A and B are shown apart, each in its own frame.
Chain A
Amino acid sequence: MKLLECPINGIRPLSEFTYGGEYRDMPNPDTCSDKEWAAYVHYRNGAPGVKKEWWYHGPSGTWFIAERDTMADKVIRTYIAGQEEAK
């Protein structure tokens, strides 16, 4: 992967982007157990696969989601969080 498509700015060189880790749902800190919170804070899905990830386009300050195959390092699609359907 050398190029990445920013949903706002189009295809840009990878050097303009920062990886933000896998997209994960946060448990409710008021109702979840300490164990569940610890798992949310520390544990990760480390196995290869197609993952939803946070990426950041630096020059334009855009956070967005990329669906990427972490084995082949190929991006399937990118979109602004919450606007998945619009694409």
Chain B
Amino acid sequence: MPLGLLKYGLSKEHPAPRFFQDRTQPKKSYDAVIIGGGGHGLAAAYYLAKDYGITNVAVLEKGYIGGGNTGRNTTIVRSNYLTPEGVNFYDASVKMYEDLSEELDLNLFYSTRGHFTLAHTESAMRTMRWRAEVNKHVGVESRVVGPDEISQACPQLDIQCSGQAPILGALYHAPGSVARHDAVAWGYAKEADRLGVEIFQMTEVTGIDVKSGKVVGVNTNKGYIETNRVLSAVAGFTPRITDMVDIETPIVIHPLQACVSEPMKPWLDTILVSGSLHVYVSQSSRGELVMGSSLDPYEVHSTRSSLDFVEGLTSHIVDMFPFLSNVKVVRQWAGMADLTPDFAPVMGKTPVEGFYLDAGWGTWGFKATPISGKTMAETIARDVAPDLIQPFRLSRFEDYELTGEKGAASVGH
């Protein structure tokens, strides 16, 4: 190792190792095409290759990998959901995350911090108790705690929230974690590429060719590609893709914004979420406070960020932490969240044969990246969706069998 470094000391060339090959022109045909080089698409490609030996796969990304919501989220990973279906699913993902740095041979800075969902009203306390009981039943570590325990974990927090909304208690979820989101995309890309998957950036799917109800190919800005299996994993762009195959879904797009403060010495160990104040906050390994809020109130297909958002968010942050009033916000941005009416994803097969959907990830899909990659790979390889994702099938809406995750997945409950 030191000798290897010495070599670069003597040379003027310092080639950085590439994570994946720089490809420009896709082949004429693939066994499967994945639309979207976010965490979900890349994870699905990796598990297709690793678990099923299907390596003749192209991942088509219209921008750069991880440039969508994967690289824009506030990186919270947890499984303290409301429905048993949701808790089981996200718990499987948390377990995969715990070993993922090793599996992908890349430090994802996966950091287990403990996660407090603060309750400021009796009705919020009731939801916390409900979630705690469902979680315990499924075997996930969650319990209701009082203000003393919250203060112990985070002495800097003003339990009275400046008198605006005193904290009555919280749902404490020990496995709650944060990670480096872009590393997740890059790690999956690196390993998928190593197994033979081809990744194309700046390659946009412009149409999907369906004949007699079956996928036969995709049109791209780099020409036509033959394939009979297509996975759409495009989050905020999902309705544009489902329109190409004439599939109806309940998905609507609202922007979701986030921001970071200037870096500080580490002081916030835990992840704090407040539904009533529409705030979630954690401190990154770089020392920045990573802060997010609720969804923008109406449909927009753009990633423009707004002053209204930072104003609203920071006023609540200062209610919780008055001493932060002089700290500066240094970056803000938005992503396009693909929302469903029951706050659960849409995963699995569709009415078009060979067209698979991984969508409806809204504000909650980063934590699901490993498990959705794995279960979508299984769905594509076997043309059958595994039991774990059956509750999330698209046909649930026509069957009036929604998976009511509302109250757990979104901040504004």
Contacts and interface: CB of A to CB of B under 8 A. Distances in A.
Nearest to A20: B298
Contacts of A15: 308
Chain A: interface secondary structure? mixed
A69 B330 CA distance: 31
A41 B2 CA distance: 65
Contact of A46 (B239, B298, B300): B239
Contacts of A48: 239-240, 253, 301
A46 B238 contact: yes
A19 B252 CA distance: 13
B220 interface: no
B343 to A, nearest CB: 13
B398 A73 contact: no
A37 B269 CA distance: 49
Nearest to A55: B298
Interface residues of B, number: 25
Nearest to B306: A2
Nearest to B243: A47
A39 B399 CA distance: 10
Interface string B213-241: 00000000000000000000000001110
Interface in A46-86: 46-48, 51, 53, 70-73
A18 B300 contact: no
A22 B252 CA distance: 10
Contacts of B301: 48, 70-71
A18 B397 CA distance: 26
Given A19-B297, A70-B299, A70-B300, A43 B400 contact: no
A62 B68 CA distance: 37
Nearest to A45: B239
B302 A42 contact: no
B251 interface: yes
A57 B378 CA distance: 49
A51 B251 CA distance: 15
B341 interface: yes
B295 to A, nearest CB: 11
A38 B398 contact: yes
A46 B341 contact: no
A39 B297 contact: no
Contacts of B148: none
A87 interface: no
B400 A38 contact: yes
Contacts of A18: 297
Contact of A19 (B243, B298, B302, B399): B298
Contacts of A51: 299
Contacts of A53: 298
Interface string B248-262: 111111000000000
Contacts of A39: 248, 398
Contacts of B240: 47-48
Nearest to A49: B301
A53 to B, nearest CB: 8
Candidate in B248, B301, B308, B397 with the most chain A CB atoms within 10 angstroms: B301
What 7 A-B pairs come out closest when comparing CB atoms? A46-B239, A19-B298, A48-B301, A42-B397, A47-B239, A43-B248, A42-B250
Interface of A: 15, 18-19, 22, 35, 38-39, 42-48, 51, 53, 70-73
Interface of B: 238-240, 242-243, 248-253, 297-302, 304, 308, 338, 341, 397-400
Given A15-B308, A22-B299, 11 more contacts: A18-B297, A19-B297, A42-B250, A42-B398, A44-B250, A44-B251, A46-B251, A47-B240, A70-B300, A73-B300, A73-B304
17 contacts: A15-B308, A19-B298, A35-B398, A38-B399, A42-B341, A42-B397, A43-B250, A43-B397, A44-B251, A44-B252, A46-B238, A46-B242, A46-B338, A48-B301, A71-B301, A73-B300, A73-B304
